[in-house]
Amino acid sequence: MHIIYHCVGGAHSSPTAAAIHLNMLPQDRIPSVSDLLHIPFYDTLETVDRGTIFLRGIDEYGNHIYNFSRQFIPHLMLPALLDLWEVLGENKEDILFVNTMPCVNIWMKIGGFSSRRLKWVRFGRPIVAKGTVLAYNNLVKLVQETKHRCINQ
């Protein structure tokens, strides 16, 4: 299976979910801000990376784990990707899109906008990282639900 965690910017919530899924971050405790910042793909996407699907690794069940910046148009991007998947002869049951936006809080939005859009990394990164720590339990729950769904398919 191919699991694509997606969000607006692709730099914070979806990479964090991918890292949790791949056991790069713990599920049994909230990591420190330093732990988050040591994930090599946290808060790193640039404007040119929008729309790119990044393979982040393969999980313990052989699932390919990705993250994706779909901006504010999931209603266009996700159906187009699914159609392309089918055109390429793949089974639509072998791909799963997981929206991480319900886990995003105001601190992640403010910090992410400052860090990635305004390029105020020194200002925005600590804010978005703290926001991610506050949202972490929700991201863990989302990943656990995703893994459970994949195992039971």
Taken as a whole, the chain contains a residue count of 153
Nearest to 5 by CA among 46, 60, 59: 59
- Average pLDDT in the 85-97 region? 95
d(CA 121, CA 126): 8
**What does DSSP assign to residue 31?**
P
Cα 91 to the center of its chain, rounded Å: 23
- Average pLDDT in the 17-44 region? 96
Is residue 153 over pLDDT 70? Answer: no
d(CA 134, CA 143): 16
Sequence spans of domains, the chain: 2-101+136-151
pLDDT band, very low/low/confident/very high, at 74 (cuts 50, 70, 90): confident
